[in-house]
A and B are shown apart, each in its own frame.
Chain A
Amino acid sequence: MKSIIIASDLSIHDWFKKKKLQRETEYTREKLDIPGNLWVKCYKCAQTLYSKELEANLKVCPKCGYHFKLTSAERIKQLTNGSPFQEIAANLTSKDFLGFTDTKPYAKRIDESIMKTSHKDAIVVGLTRIGEHDVALGAMDFAFMGGSVGSVVGEKIARLIEAAVEKKLPVIIFSSSGGMRMQESIMSLMQMAKSSAALGRLRENGLPYIAVCTDPTTGGTTASFAMLGDINISEPGALICFAGPRVIEQTIKQKLPPGFQRSEFLLAHGMLDIVVERKKLKETLINLLNFFKN
């Protein structure tokens, strides 16, 4: 199991540090998502599930169909069936260039997130194969600071798209993000411009982009690369919005109707092409990639 492999790479000191951090993190609920815990409780129907069974079912609750969040590694594995993944810009890490401190210094948050997720930032991008198709693929990690988009995520997306233009490949990006990374202030906002401009260039080069919004995709992420697909796809029940439900409730002083801003709501309002269950996702992507190719 993944967590065990990581543990073996750490010294005893680091291992304790990691354990302590795990206890301290706000994402204790997310911990249940990590394979290695034998039993997992479904967030939606509260059914206790055997984690191996859940994983075999692509981390979709067999009882109620709830789609658990996937890490970038899990996502890539589900789609590529072990095809090599040639990661791009793997070494980029975030920098606390503003010396930003809220309840914690940003620099500390970065370190903790790296320890917690074993990822360097909130997205992994690279070149790989899905079915018979070479693709430029990006997958976000919500567990890394809520999938927030700062300079690193923006830069990685831009480099992925530029690599796709150079190699004439379609681009697929799986979003899972709470929005822009406030700790990078204006520079995070500029990543919306950067990633969207890069997608414009992809489009000018006649190359397709499939955007997949997974739970949750909100804020500036939705208002940039996550909504700009030639095809916009989502998994069932995902929260997808610009302004979060809490912000809207505070603004209009009303309770929001159930299902507001979920995938099916966006589909009904014409913002998505398809809502696809995870088990049909790969097949759907291959179908679309076939369409674009031939």
Chain B
Amino acid sequence: MAKEKPVKNNRNLLAFEQPLQAVYQKLEQLREIQESGKMDMSAEIKQTEKRIEALRQQLFANLNPIQVVQVARHLMRPTTLDYISLMFTDWVELHGDRNFADDPAMVCGTARLDGRSVVVIGQQKGHSTKENIARNFGTAHPEGYRKALRVMRLAERYGKPIISLVDTPGAYPGIGAEERGQAEAIAKNLREMAELTVPFVSVITGEGGSGGALGIAMGNRVLMLEFSIYSVISPEGCASILFRDAKRANEAAVAMKITAKDMLELGVIEDIIKEPLGGAHNDHQLAARNVKQAIVKHLNPLLPLSHRELIADRYNKFRKLGIFNE
């Protein structure tokens, strides 16, 4: 059970998964006995593994929004580069916005999806503090958004579909980012994405954090993983502004309706991608297989569309979003 390995590490169990802790400990003890060769524990091991699975199924059957946020932010959740290595072949990463810098929080490149040339863009988080610092926790600067636009334009020039993998707490709020026009960079991406003449599928894989997420997420189809989130502001930010207390983030997470199910109901996304039991971090391979399957499913019907049809399709998708009285 190689796939269970990362979970043995306590830090990978989320707070609401604590009931699993004791069962895992028991499993480890049983395995030790088994390995020592003193007794045959295989039946007990199998039973305990079943118990873990059942318990996990129970825990994940009805996650509340706060728990979903925790899964979406899990340190071991597959990152954009994880997905890229598992879903595509012939990956060539392309760097730089040709203006100022290369932003390591945004990765872009060319790849093949079942033999078809595509362009892939996405924010990159890390699996450790060190990696996260190198990737700026997946919060891109303006040069990240400009690099993404440059590579999307490249795809357009050569008629290649675009896949964006979205996972960011938001665009970086800092002095340099403001000086170099974070707002302008995102705004321009929004306008230009609407006009792209190639098929474009976006997948929210983890955190869909506000404008920083939307800045690469205007696909003809937008999909979300089961335990990913999409929101206009982080639950913590919403709590500190509207509830006047950052500690009320849980309430804000519930009030804001940020889960994939909510997005499907509101018409913001087209499909939800099932995650492996216990979340995508428990089985990167299976998660990537599901994501790839969903991308292919939603990309295929877009391929025969003309430039005009693709633009009209995307325009109509976003044009109809909004609920008001008239």
Contacts and interface: CB of A to CB of B under 8 A. Distances in A.
Interface string B20-62: 0000000000000000000000000000000000000000000
A260 B183 CA distance: 15
B174 A252 contact: yes
A248 B173 contact: yes
Interface string A98-138: 10111100000000000000000000000000000000000
Interface stretch (B70-78, B115-123, B225-233, B296-304): B225-233
Contacts of A186: 230-232, 256-258, 262-263, 266, 268
Contact of B243 (A102, A220, A222, A243): A102
Interface residues of A, number: 63
> Chain B contact residues (Cβ within 8 angstroms of A): what range?
35 or more
A196 B324 contact: no
B266 to A, nearest CB: 6
Nearest to A254: B175
Contacts of B180: 269
Given A186-B268, A187-B266, A242 B179 contact: no
Interface in B220-266: 230-233, 237-238, 241-244, 252, 255-258, 262-263, 266
A197 B243 contact: no
Nearest to A191: B322
B82 interface: no
B190 interface: yes
Nearest to B255: A100
Contact of A92 (B256, B315, B324): B324
B210 A189 contact: yes
B18 interface: no
A155 B322 contact: yes
A193 to B, nearest CB: 4
A226 B232 CA distance: 18
A140 interface: no
B255 A196 contact: no
B288 interface: no
Interface stretch (B6-14, B153-161, B191-199): B191-199
B315 A241 contact: no
A190 B263 CA distance: 11
A200 B195 contact: yes
A219 B214 CA distance: 13
Contacts of A194: 318-319, 321-322
Nearest to B238: A182
30 contacts: A92-B324, A103-B243, A155-B324, A184-B232, A185-B256, A186-B231, A186-B257, A186-B263, A186-B266, A190-B268, A190-B318, A190-B322, A193-B194, A193-B214, A193-B321, A197-B318, A198-B319, A199-B191, A200-B192, A200-B195, A222-B183, A222-B187, A223-B215, A227-B183, A242-B171, A243-B171, A248-B173, A252-B174, A271-B181, A271-B184
